[in-house]
């Protein structure tokens, strides 16, 4: 953390980054956080990309040009496929019960 001594007799220092004036003491440890700031900025870019990835109309990180809305199309196809399979299952249950009821009714008519 860059700082400059304002008054050595009064033990005043000026922090160059924030402009704060404070008391200088030998028992206080000063930590330089500027190298960590670059890593925090890089993490902030990743977090921003992850937040934008939640929007299905945006482009995925690292995707090729022209891939806008790929997540939205994939979601539509997935939902269509699931709906189709569930619809076929319901239709097969309806057909099975209808055939079973007519078969039972036909057996009763024949007296079996």
Query: Nearest CA to 17 among 2, 29, 32, 36?
Result: 2
* Residues forming beta bridges with residue 3, ordered by sequence position: 15
Mean pLDDT of the chain: 80
Contacts of 71 (CB under 8 A, 6+ apart): 56, 57, 58, 60
On whether the CB atoms of residues 75 and 56 are closer than 8 A, the answer is yes
Query: What pLDDT, on a 0 to 100 scale, did the predictor assign at position 4?
Result: 62
pLDDT at 82 over 90: yes
pTM tops 0.75, yes or no: no
């Amino acid at each position: 953390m860059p700082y400059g001594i304002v008054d050595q007799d009064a033990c005043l220092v000026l922090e160059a980054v924030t402009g704060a004036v404070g008391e200088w003491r030998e028992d206080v440890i000063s930590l330089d956080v500027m190298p960590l700031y670059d890593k925090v900025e890089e993490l902030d870019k990743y977090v921003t990309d992850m937040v934008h990835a939640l929007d299905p109309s945006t482009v995925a990180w690292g995707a090729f040009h022209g891939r806008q809305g790929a997540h939205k199309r994939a979601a539509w196809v997935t939902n269509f496929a699931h709906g189709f399979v569930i619809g076929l299952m319901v239709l097969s249950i309806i057909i099975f019960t209808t055939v079973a009821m007519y078969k039972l009714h036909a057996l009763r008519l024949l007296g079996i």
